Amino acid sequence: MRQTLIVVALASLAAPTLAAPQAKIEHCGWLVSQGDELVPQPDQALQPSDPKTLATPPAQAKAAYCVRDTMASYVGDERMLKLGLPLVIRSGDREGVLEANPTVLFNYHKVGDKYLPGKEKE
């Protein structure tokens, strides 16, 4: 009886991380080429913190982005990186980029809602 309770307790601890999105707020999409700029293209089907199947990136996507309630990286972000695109995470006025052997390097800087090539000039 005791062994059964331990297994049930462990299973109940693991279930919430697999069954529900980890982020409380997560709005994601793709950063797509438009001339020399990257512009956001929201995609409600792209939710890396949710265990459901990820959306397929459009051909012109150079990165994915997620606006979250926190700068935390989630277990599901690894699935995003396996697509070969960088993941830009934004929270408030902070931003970070996750890359792991990307097929497209993220060499852009943010100006308003757009991203321009290269580093920001000082």
pLDDT tens-place string over residues 70-122: 888 877 888 888 888 899 999 988 998 988 776 667 888 888 888 888 877 76
Q: Is residue 41 part of a domain?
A: yes
Q: Is residue 10 part of a domain?
A: no
Range of the domain at 96: 21-117
Q: What tokens were used for 69?
A: 């309630």
Q: Is residue 101 part of a domain?
A: yes
pLDDT tens-place string over residues 52-77: 888 889 999 999 999 988 888 877 88
Q: Is residue 6 part of a domain?
A: no
Q: What is the pTM of this model?
A: 0.73
CA atoms of 122 and 21, how far apart (whole Å): 39
Q: Is residue 50 part of a domain?
A: yes
Q: Is residue 26 part of a domain?
A: yes
Q: Is residue 7 part of a domain?
A: no
- The whole-number pLDDT of residue 15 equals 37
Query: Per the structure, how many domains does the chain have?
Result: 1
pLDDT tens-place string over residues 14-32: 434 444 555 577 889 999 9
Closest CA to 74 of 15, 108, 9, 24: 24
Closest CA to 97 of 112, 119, 122: 119
